[in-house]
Structure 1
């Protein structure tokens, strides 16, 4: 695979923004290191262009005839390499150099087949409409349609109408390729190399514990101790006397949860990929419990944590470093053997929570600049979502970085 052409632009008029993007894409496709005839387009727009989405997709299809398939959605912001456009009219596109037999665009109109079929899904990029009933259950069902059980993507974010792009070659159209409701996206076969990581911007502030008693969303005991006592001891505060300092500390604290078969913390002291960070929504003083914004079961692992700018930057840098290490692991192998195990990035997708950008990282585009410094100058597209999807879980206030990779000696 060659590098995936990618471009982004902002302009009050969608046609002008599209023209700017097309000029960038066509210039890249004329260069030997970029794909000349990519077949799959990933398109993300801010909600300023929702009313013109059908015309925009039609125009792009006319100008990029080799791109037969499109997928994408709307966000309150979109991302490109080293830049984010937040709360302004903008679009971001990446054109993927993948053989058509290695992926399948799906939607409610053209669902991904379950069971034996000509195409076998290994992973899937998923765009979800947040108004969809039982969304969490749908993600579990969708993950079951893939052999790896791994999904990545996000929930559309719009102050008005929500939409998704799902246009596939040979389809009956789903008329315009612009849809609303349910799930849509792209399923990939096991021939498509992907590496994905989640950053939750959190720094654990204490050891992990096992939930030994819980009711609904209330953690009652951790390692046999009242959960509220464990929380207060971890924070070094008390509720006796003036409770305000303790309550302020609790308001800045969250909880990382993982199932019984997966520890919340890795050996490095960071949260693992299966850990979901949830807000503390109340304290049950009478029972010594801590209420979380999720259901809790006995046997789960829990670690309290805090979220701030330094933790956000450090954790985002960490996942980028983990991806780079997975692509080019250090080993005592001979140079030619080591080179054979190395892979390179052809393109990247970054989905971030709409509540993370800007000031949370210290300034405009600071989040994407952190990715650029850590990952390098790679093609990147993305959007700011109202929920992030990794594996079969729905996250909040996280960042999800997924890279498309190929052997280092291919071009």
Structure 2
């Protein structure tokens, strides 16, 4: 993989016009020497304004781009592209990945991803799209991650006010059974694409919330109801943290609790130091209600005794800083180590060649960004602000993605997070004239 991945994005009330605008961008890029001319894998994300037309839209794209051998993607409240987001408007975003067909495999309910060691394909990681109503979704994602050699998957949960469609169409390896819908559009369960060992990638998680109280340990719980935190009734700990009371006028308390969530760390985790932001191991979950009789706090997932918990709130400043942090980490991994740089003023050909190799050998060929639908640019200070941060940090790299109802990274399901994954390739070997 040496060429940039072609990408395109557009908005229009009519999906066919938007698709035509995207195709014009893709074809113009594929004619340039720095871009892939015959990419084999297409990623397609649409906003829910086009959800009812998902099947004809996908058919149109396959007809117009016959060299693209497979398509996967889903629907979101918004879609992402380089430097721009389309939120709550009719739009689509496409990335054509220049990955050899031997290095990718689509999977869905019709064609599940084989377990590690089974079959001829060795999955290193996988882009996963999940329906939010999938039973025990957290456990399903853990099991999916175990089907990769790295134990790492990334992606997001479909977000739509209409049909929760997913795209999975493999024109090389048709998996449809007699009687199955062969349109490549379906609803429910998981789908996506797994990548083989020759595909270089990096993935990072950024959180959109910051703790407002120290970490505590859940010392009593029943299902999703936290009863005690460090031996103190959980409701009392929450009210004390927020500085509110349920006595008299309860409106201030209701508003404060409505703006508050919890960060959770699995039982047995090492208690983190207070850093002002959550790490990638933390899962943010909603507070669903208060139990004034048992003085408990109900959460959006079951909690075990021993789980670490910290009350938190959304915070734009922390979200911006954390997004810049993960972009900086990716850039640092792409940059050469100091000990391989040539001595200043050196004219040694081998030393100069080593410098050129380390500085020019790797770059980002394409990127996928999945962000929480509650984040969007306005949360970061204005329209497109979130994607502008990514572009300023990484440059004008080809990018696609969507705004999800939950974000997937490693083997976990997140909330209020962003997951940035980049594909990396050589800038020298195999380049076309």
TM exceeding 0.5:
yes
Contact 2:5 2:365 in 1 (8 A): yes
Name the structure 2 match of 1:361.
Answer: 380
Name the structure 2 match of 1:141.
Answer: 143
Name the structure 2 match of 1:197.
Answer: 204
| Mapping for residues 369-388 of structure 1, pairs under 5 Å | 369-388=388-407
Name the structure 1 match of 2:346.
Answer: none
Change (3 A) 1:156 1:287: closer
315, 323, 334: which one aligns with 2:330: 323
Change (3 A) 1:48 1:267: same
Change (3 A) 1:337 1:287: farther
Name the structure 2 match of 1:351.
Answer: 370
Matched, 1:156 2:158: yes
Q: Which runs of 5+ in 1 are unaligned?
A: none
The range that moved more, 126-135 or 30-39, is 126-135
> For residues 257 and 55 of structure 2, what CA distance do their matches in structure 1 show?
46
Contact 1:77 1:384 in 2 (8 A): yes
The range that moved more, 96-105 or 152-161, is 152-161
> For residues 226 and 326 of structure 1, what CA distance do their matches in structure 2 show?
45
395, 398, 403: which one aligns with 2:417: 398
Contact 1:339 1:408 in 2 (8 A): no
Name the structure 1 match of 2:30.
Answer: 29
Matched, 1:305 2:324: no
The range that moved more, 7-16 or 359-368, is 359-368
What is the Cα deviation at residue 333 of structure 1? Answer: 4.5
What is the Cα deviation at residue 331 of structure 1? Answer: 4.3
> For residues 283 and 134 of structure 1, what CA distance do their matches in structure 2 show?
24
Matched, 1:103 2:110: no
SS in structure 1 at match of 2:168: strand
Change (3 A) 1:252 1:340: same
> For residues 67 and 93 of structure 1, what CA distance do their matches in structure 2 show?
12
> For residues 176 and 266 of structure 1, what CA distance do their matches in structure 2 show?
51
Name the structure 2 match of 1:116.
Answer: 118
Name the structure 2 match of 1:67.
Answer: 68
TM-score, length-scaled by structure 2 = 0.86
| Mapping for residues 38-57 of structure 1, pairs under 5 Å | 38-57=39-58
Q: Which runs of 5+ in 2 are unaligned?
A: 177-181, 343-353
> For residues 81 and 104 of structure 1, what CA distance do their matches in structure 2 show?
26
> For residues 359 and 387 of structure 1, what CA distance do their matches in structure 2 show?
19
> For residues 225 and 129 of structure 1, what CA distance do their matches in structure 2 show?
37
160, 183, 186: which one aligns with 1:176: 183
SS in structure 1 at match of 2:261: strand
Change (3 A) 1:294 1:133: closer
Contact 2:73 2:166 in 1 (8 A): yes
> For residues 173 and 167 of structure 1, what CA distance do their matches in structure 2 show?
9
Contact 2:52 2:162 in 1 (8 A): no
> For residues 107 and 402 of structure 1, what CA distance do their matches in structure 2 show?
21
Number of aligned residue pairs: give it: 411
What is the Cα deviation at residue 127 of structure 1? Answer: 1.1
* C-alpha RMSD over aligned residues: 2.7
279, 283, 291: which one aligns with 1:276: 283
SS in structure 2 at match of 1:104: strand
TM-score, length-scaled by structure 1 = 0.90
Change (3 A) 1:54 1:173: farther
> For residues 264 and 318 of structure 1, what CA distance do their matches in structure 2 show?
22
> For residues 117 and 407 of structure 1, what CA distance do their matches in structure 2 show?
29
